[in-house]
Structure 1
């Protein structure tokens, strides 16, 4: 009995210590032992079995991640997809992946091939909506504006992919013009559209959506509403498969 009490007390102390929120008050005595004696026994137990702390911390992290995912998915319900949002793939595909991205994000660049593989899959059941959440400075906004300007010339995919190949933080007006020219754009028209109120407001709207959802980094994905933060290819594949299985049923 005493061992059970000590084990429970140790686990409880570990959890509350890890969270920094010790909300449970220790009793004055336990099984005939004083509070001070129990605390000494618990301390000795934790020193002897530190794995308890590691397990408790792991459980705390798991719970915090669950809360983070739930909060993001709930906030995402407030995001309204616009007909002007760039779409890759079949517009009426049953699986929708919304990607919040930034051209200065290294992991976004790594994720590009995965994104293209989804929309190019022979099943044709995935579309990707890009949210140009340019949160990494003014040259991120400039690159995002260029991509949206390319959409007006029917060159969004080409421009998006080409911009992702440019090293992070290397975007300058000259580089943007070179990339636009390389994908066959009318650069003069592109510049005009980049500076238009419509495009500037579209970039701001995507940034606002990013902030509204409470995202902390890019890329961030919502696959039929299921949140995946960061680029973990296997995890993303698993969520797409789950979405595909639900569509079939």
Structure 2
């Protein structure tokens, strides 16, 4: 850290001097480095203060991303959502179609929609296995084609038991819910950007797995395990 700090300070001074005077020669550069090295050695608190500032800056950056994402997602039409925009309460769920904990929470969300003025926003980040990405892209393309059809697809895969996700099984599901599989597949390339942006946002929020929830401005890493727990957060 000391060496890094010294390098940064030296580079800053040299850049500054280059802007206002002739370039510094090698001997002068060595003198500047020696002065900086002596100062940092005799004032170690500067290293601690610099580390604290870096940490604060990172926290502020993450917090701003958190607030921006809430505002953006609540107003956006690109993410599947239930309820009404600008409802009193909201849940933003980063989920994966293969996330067992996410599936456990679905009945809680359905019940809460009946009891609260609530908006639920589903943000798909395929992180569990390869087929998660296939379902994510296909699901987003279906939502962009027909939101009502999407939620039939969503309900099918978000029930607790495991559902087959091979091509023939998915085609059969589309036929069952009345969706055009081939037409939706053609739309994947244009819908893919939303999933890619979801993944980028998950990096900004430092999400390490699903589920990740934002409920009325409160961050929850991990699953809610009972409806009473969900109610306590909404209150």
Q: Which bracket does the TM-score occupy, shorter chain normalised?
A: 0.5 to 0.7
Among candidates 167, 187, 197, match of residue 173 of structure 1: 167
Q: Partner of 1:77 in structure 2?
A: 67
Q: Partner of 1:161 in structure 2?
A: 155
Among candidates 90, 94, 99, match of residue 96 of structure 1: 90
Contact 1:95-1:127 within 8 A present in 2 as well = yes
Q: Secondary structure at the match of 1:128?
A: strand
Task: List alignment gaps of at least 5 residues for structure 2.
Answer: 1-59
Residue deviations 1:67-121 (CA, integer Å, cap 9, x gap): xxx99766422423232111111233221110000011111111111122222x1
Q: Are residue 200 (structure 1) and residue 200 (structure 2) matched? A: no
Contact 1:228-1:236 within 8 A present in 2 as well = no
Q: Partner of 1:129 in structure 2?
A: 121
- CA distance in 2 between counterparts of 1:188 and 1:237 reads 41
**CA 157–135 in structure 1, closer or farther in 2 if over 3 Å, else same:** same
- CA distance in 2 between counterparts of 1:115 and 1:147 reads 19
Q: How does 1:9-158 map to 2 (within 5 A)?
A: 75-79=65-69, 80-81=72-73, 82-119=76-113, 121-123=114-116, 125-151=117-143, 152-154=145-147, 155-158=149-152
Residue deviations 1:185-207 (CA, integer Å, cap 9, x gap): 112212212x32x2111111111
More helix by share: 2
- CA distance in 2 between counterparts of 1:190 and 1:173 reads 13
Deviation at 1:133, TM superposition (A): 1.1
- CA distance in 2 between counterparts of 1:110 and 1:156 reads 19
Task: List alignment gaps of at least 5 residues for structure 1.
Answer: 1-69, 242-249
